[in-house]
Structure 1
Amino acid sequence: MISIEKLLRSTIIIATITSLSACAAMQGNQVSLTVKTEPPGAMLYEGNHALGMAPQTLNYNGDPSKNIINTSKVTAIWPSGAQNSQSFNLPMHQGSFSATISRPKNAPGLANDLANADRVAAAEDRKARNAMTCQSYADQAAASQQISQNTANKKTADVLLGALNQSLSQKSAYDKCMQQFEYN
């Protein structure tokens, strides 16, 4: 039977090896590209594959013998139906890149897309405020737990100190008693 400790140790070793392998692969052959849109809030597609609302980070694996990764077209489609596509030539071994796909200037429905961008920005603001609130609650919970732990530690210390004092009192009484027998 495998002990839990051995199982945990094996899992940690496997996770570490996997992480190191992934990092090594990423360093040599992988480039990341964060695609944004202007105005914000367009849906992104790569071919027929929906990537989600911009911004999205895409990872590309390239041929290690080449210096450039040529991406397939990324298409941005705004709520008005306006769309624009762009492919990218990314230098390998350079890390992360960012690009912005702009809405075509003459496409109809700009007011609709700007209103959508405002809704997206408001949602992002709410998300950021909620994250700050949750972090504050988490910090308060951690502080409360630390105080509880300190209180528990103090109670334990008080109990141990009381037991020690009692032991010292008992030893003192024992010593006094023994002294009386020695002198009498």
Structure 2
Amino acid sequence: MSDLHRCTWLGHEPFYIAYHDDEWGRPEHDSRTLWEMLMLEGFQAGLSWITILRKREGFRAGFAGFDPDKVAAFGEEDVARLMADPGVVRSQAKIRATIRGAQIFCEMRDRGEDFAAFFWAFTDGKVILGDGVTRQASTPLSAVISKELKRRGFKFVGPTIAYAWMQAAGMVDDHDRACFRYGKGAAD
């Protein structure tokens, strides 16, 4: 697959290429997976995405496979455990935000609100196709999503993080026009 054209931002690291080819920008409709993606995007704030991607398995181990019910029940001993875990980003604020994010996810679910339906309602279930040229950190829609996430109590969900989540989860297809994945998001 080395002869394929890929997004110019990608670089040459095989681990990152596999993420780009197999995950980034593919429409995700599983609520738990979308919540995990949002939490990981929050941990990325101030860091590079490759740092989070390299630690993803550590995050999954530390956060009980991102099972919202288990994470929602985390207490002070879990915060201390995670603060000592080199497999995750050891930020107390981000760890606490993830625990609170799990509680909010569970509260939404218990009220009958599906997290995936919440996410995709912003685009009526459709993938937004970028122009394949413009690079932006946020959009008016990501600002709306950010505001709603914050209203619900989520943390580390500013417009830039919300936009990165939209891209990663395939709500927005922002692959380069020459990339072999461009325009394929709606077909996934």
TM-score range, shorter chain: under 0.3
- TM-score by length of structure 2 reads 0.22
Considering fraction of residues, name the structure with more strand.
Answer: 1
Which one has more relative contact order, counting CA pairs under 8 Å at least 6 apart?
2
Larger Rg: 1
